[in-house]
Structures are given as structure tokens and as C-alpha cells.
């Protein structure tokens, strides 16, 4: 008997010689959420449950996803703040980061320092979700109703 290849349609197999490999073979996505280090920390569990209820999230994974995005943005701002004021990398990437924050509606034009990026909280992101905006504008009776309206494409 012969050993079967791990990826029968992958590059380097006999039936694949001369063909381009499928793009699915090369895909490598980053993690979209990160579980907390301590799963049963009472204060964190209570705070998460409060946010999940307040913003009508489906599960805590949706909250963790927001926290990962926020941590990446804050990490970028922190590394830029370690550079000197006149450093071209800090100026260029700092302006790009601030422009993204304005576009997302997380900061306004008057908040033009990287320190404001470090002060962002998950609430700031959750306030910008369509579900929250639909509820706050009074188009839905509750935050959960807003989610249903969006899901049903109203």
C-alpha cells in the first residue's frame, strides 16, 4: 500500500503538476477574537455580561472581537508614541491611524493626538455599531428589536 498525501489536491501532487494551486491552499487568516486569560474572574464576567446586555450582543465572542480590534489599534498607537515627535514613520503612520479613527467615528477632528487613541474603550466601538445606532435613533423598540430588524434587512 502507498502513503496518501496530506493534501491530495495541493501543490506538488501528481494530478496537480502544471496547474496553479487553489487560493484556498494559501489562505491564512488572523484570529478575530481572543479568549480571556482567566476564564472565571468575577469582576470581568460581570462587566462583560453588563456590556453584552446593554448593547444586545449575541455572545461574549462579539465583545472579545471588539476588544481585539481595540487592542491592536492601541498597540499601534503605543509603538508610535515611543518614537520621536519628528520621526517620519510616527508622522505618517500616526496621521493614517488618526484618519482611520475619524472615519470610524471614534474620535472627532479636535482630538488630534495619539493619546486620545489610547483612551478609547470598548464602549466607544460598541456605540458605533449599526444595531446601537438603530436603537438610539428610535427606529426599534429595543436593542434586541434593532438586531432583528437588521437581520431581516428592513
| Contact assessment for residue 60 and residue 66, using Cβ atoms and an 8 Å cutoff | no
Give the pLDDT band of residue 16 (cuts 50, 70, 90): low
Give the pLDDT band of residue 27 (cuts 50, 70, 90): confident
Q: Which cell is 150 given?
A: 437588521
| Contact assessment for residue 73 and residue 97, using Cβ atoms and an 8 Å cutoff | yes
Task: Provide the pLDDT for residue 94.
Answer: 96
pLDDT at 127 over 60: yes
Each residue of 78-110: pLDDT tens digit?
Answer: 999 999 999 999 999 999 999 999 999 999 999
Task: Provide the pLDDT for residue 66.
Answer: 97
Q: Cα 135 vs. chain centroid, distance in angstroms?
A: 22
Q: What's the mean pLDDT in 4-31?
A: 65
Task: Provide the pLDDT for residue 30.
Answer: 84
Amino acid at each position: 500500500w502507498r502513503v496518501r498525501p496530506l493534501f491530495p489536491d495541493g501543490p506538488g501532487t501528481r494530478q496537480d503538476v502544471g496547474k496553479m494551486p487553489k487560493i484556498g491552499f494559501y489562505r491564512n487568516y488572523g484570529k478575530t477574537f481572543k479568549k480571556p486569560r482567566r476564564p472565571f474572574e468575577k469582576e470581568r464576567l460581570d462587566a462583560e455580561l453588563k456590556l453584552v446586555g446593554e448593547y444586545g450582543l449575541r455572545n461574549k465572542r462579539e465583545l472579545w472581537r471588539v476588544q481585539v480590534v481595540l487592542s491592536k489599534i492601541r498597540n499601534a498607537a503605543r509603538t508610535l508614541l515611543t518614537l520621536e515627535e519628528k520621526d517620519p514613520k510616527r508622522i505618517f503612520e500616526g496621521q493614517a491611524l488618526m484618519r482611520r479613527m475619524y472615519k470610524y467615528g471614534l474620535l472627532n477632528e479636535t482630538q488630534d493626538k495619539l493619546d486620545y487613541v489610547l483612551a478609547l474603550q470598548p464602549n466607544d466601538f460598541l456605540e458605533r455599531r449599526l444595531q446601537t445606532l438603530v436603537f438610539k435613533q428610535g427606529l426599534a423598540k429595543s436593542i434586541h428589536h434593532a438586531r432583528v430588524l437588521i437581520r431581516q434587512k428592513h
